[in-house]
Amino acid sequence: MFDAIEMGSQTPASQPAASPGLAAVAQGAEATIYRTRLFGDQDVAIKQRLPKRYRIPELDEHLNRSRIIAEARALARAWSLPHVHVPAVYLVDPHRLRLVLEWIEGLSLRDWLRTRESVEGTTHIAAVLEQVGRMVAAIHAVGLIHGDLTTSNFIVRESADRNESTVFVIDFGLAQQYPIQSDTTVEAKAVDLYVLERALASVHVQQAAAYFAQVLRAYESGSSIENAKLVLRRLDVVRARGRKRAMIG
């Protein structure tokens, strides 16, 4: 999988991002996501990073190329971990600022919870949230920090009978590799979890506390005892900072 990082066209990054046959399915501040079919009947996602017009062009291109490669490396690292589900990387094209990734069919965790809260039993929801907690614990265990753990960056793919679900974590555009053991890493892990907690609270107001408690239980069970204690203790500190900022505006 990692050999894909050596691949890529030499076409300049200034070439227009859109191409015939590409359908834009998502637009963010940093990138546009296209869905297309490249390998027979297999759909793929093309992530096209966007230039920043306010930056010096040479600097902007250098930063975007570095981030494309860093995201591919983060995905490769996560993909190698047991029980962690991420899109496979098919091609890295730093010159066009593109990643070609496996297309993951499903609903975002945000939308899945919204649609399932009134019709699903708590057992299925708990199983999905347990997967989330264990995956975050697994990537944190190797010092990989996602950087944007919102409920929009988890995709829930259901089986045909809808009795089982597999959760994928996506969008490693802000991911960073930290030393496995350091105070800075503990802080980054706690912030990752805090972002997820706030994302749950912003949409699933009544159930947010219960949902996040399930995530944390799975996170603890997937972490070493000492690491879990350090991170959860720091999470309380991060929460306090967040409340203070909210109070003073």
CATH of residue 147? 1.10.510.10
So what's the pLDDT on residue 1?
A: 44
Q: Of 39, 74, 102, at which residue does a domain stop?
A: 102
Residues 207 and 244 placed together within one structural domain of the fold: yes
Residues 69-78 have a mean pLDDT of 98
User: For 198, how many CA atoms within 13 A lie in the half-sphere containing its CB?
Assistant: 15
Q: Amino acid identity of 18? A: A
Task: Identify the residue with better confidence: 68 or 39.
Answer: 68
Residues 78 and 200 placed together within one structural domain of the fold: no
Residues 57 and 124 placed together within one structural domain of the fold: no
Average pLDDT, the chain: 88
Task: Identify the residue with better confidence: 20 or 24.
Answer: 24
Residues 69 and 147 placed together within one structural domain of the fold: no
Residues 151 and 211 placed together within one structural domain of the fold: yes
Residues 191 and 236 placed together within one structural domain of the fold: yes
Range of the domain at 166: 107-248
Residues 66-89 have a mean pLDDT of 97
Helix or strand or coil: residue 143? coil
Residues 66-82 have a mean pLDDT of 97
pLDDT, one tens digit per residue, over 212-226 is 999 999 999 999 999
Which segment of 29-33, 153-157, 201-205 scores lowest on mean pLDDT?
201-205
Residues 244 and 45: their CA atoms lie apart, in Å, by 40
Q: Of 102, 131, 153, at which residue does a domain stop?
A: 102
SS (H, E, C) 87-140: CCEEEEECCCCEEEEECCCCEEHHHHHHHHCCCCCHHHHHHHHHHHHHHHHHHH
Residues 94 and 8 placed together within one structural domain of the fold: yes
Residues 90-114 have a mean pLDDT of 95
pLDDT, one tens digit per residue, over 120-163 is 567 789 999 999 999 999 999 999 999 999 999 999 999 877 77
Residues 92 and 119 placed together within one structural domain of the fold: no
Residues 79-89 have a mean pLDDT of 97
Count Cβ atoms below 10 Å from residue 3 Cβ, excluding itself.
9
So what's the pLDDT on residue 11?
A: 41
Residues 146 and 130 placed together within one structural domain of the fold: yes
């050999």: which residue's tokens? 3
Residues 92 and 213 placed together within one structural domain of the fold: no
Residues 142 and 72 placed together within one structural domain of the fold: no
CB 172 within 8 A of CB 146: yes
To the query of whether residue 93 is one of the catalytic residues in this protein, the response is: no
pLDDT of residue 240 exceeding 70: yes
Residues 74 and 130 placed together within one structural domain of the fold: no
Task: Identify the residue with better confidence: 246 or 29.
Answer: 29
So what's the pLDDT on residue 123?
A: 79
So what's the pLDDT on residue 121?
A: 62
User: For 148, how many CA atoms within 13 A lie in the half-sphere containing its CB?
Assistant: 11
pLDDT of residue 203 exceeding 50: yes
Count Cβ atoms below 10 Å from residue 239 Cβ, excluding itself.
15
Percentage above 90 pLDDT, the chain? 70
Count of structural domains within the chain: 2
pLDDT of residue 20 exceeding 60: no
Q: Which of 93, 148, 171, 192 is catalytic?
A: 148
pLDDT of residue 165 exceeding 90: yes
Identify the DSSP state of 50: P
Q: Of 102, 128, 153, at which residue does a domain stop?
A: 102
What CATH number does residue 63 fall under? 3.30.200.20
